[in-house]
Amino acid sequence: MSFDARPGVHVARRRFGQNFLASAGIVSRIVAAIRPQAGENMVEIGPGLGALTKPLLEHLGHLHVIEIDRDLIARLRECHDPGCLAIHEGDALKFDFGALCTEEKASLRVVGNLPYNISTPLLFHLCDFMPRLRDGHFMLQKEVVARMVAVPDTAEYGRLSVMLQYRFQMERLFDVPPGAFRPAPKVTSSVVRMIPLPAGTYDVHDETRFSRIVAAAFAQRRKTLRNTLRDFLDETGLKALGLDPGLRGERLSVADFVAIANACQ
C-alpha cells in the first residue's frame, strides 16, 4: 500500500484495506530503518502505488513484490522494468515466501505496509517461513504493534506477544499519524522490526502443543492457570515448574510457556 500523487488515479479499495502512504518524510524514515543494500533478497507485501517500492529498488537493484489488486499490478508494470521488479500476483496470506529463496540467496528480507484487516493472520503465516527470514519491517496499526512487543503482566500482552516473541526479537521503531496516508485511516500506525531469534533460543519439543497451550491460557484472560491449562498440566505439574496455579496467563513469560509445553507428555 503506497502512494501516487496524481489525483483520481486509483480509488482505494476498502476490501483490500488500502490506505496509501503519502508522506515522503515517513517513507525516508522507513527506508532508513530497513537499510536496504544492493543485491539483497527482499520482498515487499502490498506495494500498491509504489511509495516504498521506488526507493527500495534504487538501493537494491531488484525487488519482489506481492500485490492482489490487478489495477495496481498493471500500474506497477507500466512504471517499472520487469527485469528489476518481480511482481507476484495473489494473496500474501497464501504466498510461499520460501519459494523466493535460492542457493545464492538463501535468506529473505520482508517489508510491508500491512492491511489492518489481515495483519495478524499474515504475521502468523510468516512464522512458517522463519528459518528463511533474515528480518521483517512492517507498518501496522499501533495497537497491534503494542501487542507484538508487549511484556508480561501488561494489558497488551497476549497470544500474539508470546507466539511472535517465541520466534523473533521485536522492536517498535516509531509511530505514523493518520495524516501520512491517503485516504487517512482512523487509527495511528507504528513501524516494527522483527529479527528471528538464534536457533535453539527456546527449545520447544512440540510446537503444536505449545501453540495450543498459549491459545488456551489467553482464551479467557480472567481465569487462572489451574482452569485454563487443566487439560494440559494439573496444579502439581505447574507447582513443579515453580508456577503458581492461581496466576493468569498474562503473568507468564515466553520461557514459562515453553517449560509448560515441554512438561506435557
| Same domain flag for 226 and 138 | no
Q: Containing domain of residue 105, as a range?
A: 14-196
**Look-up: residue for cell 482512523?**
186
- φ, ψ of residue 166 to 5 degrees: the values are -65, -30
pLDDT value of residue 18: 62
Q: Are residues 113 and 216 in the same domain?
A: no
Domain boundary among 140, 173, 196: 196
Residues 230 and 188 in one domain: no
4 in any annotated domain: no
Contacts of 168 (CB under 8 A, 6+ apart): 130, 136, 194, 195, 196, 197
Instruction: Give residue 182's pLDDT.
Output: 86
> Residue 183: what pLDDT?
83
With a cut of 50, which residues of the chain have pLDDT below it?
Answer: 1-8, 10-17
Same-domain check for residues 43 and 174:
yes
Last residue of a domain, one of 165, 196, 227: 196
Number of C-beta neighbours around residue 204 at 10 A = 15
How many domains is the chain built from? 2
Copy the grid coordinates of residue 7: 489525483
Q: CA 205, CA 265: separation in Å to the nearest integer?
A: 10
Contacts of residue 258, defined as CB under 8 A and 6 or more positions apart, other chains included, come to 166, 202, 203, 204, 210
Examine residue 7 and state whether it is found in any structural domain, yes or no. Answer: no
CATH number of the domain residue 162 falls in: 3.40.50.150
Claim to verify: residue 241 and residue 148 sit in the same structural domain: no
According to the model, what pLDDT value does residue 48 have?
A: 84
Say if residue 173 is in the same domain as residue 61: yes
**Do the domain assignments include residue 201?**
no
Same domain, 213 and 150: no
User: Cα–Cα distance between 97 and 45 in angstroms, integer?
Assistant: 11
Same domain, 59 and 97: yes
pLDDT at 8: 43
Q: Are residues 129 and 187 in the same domain?
A: yes
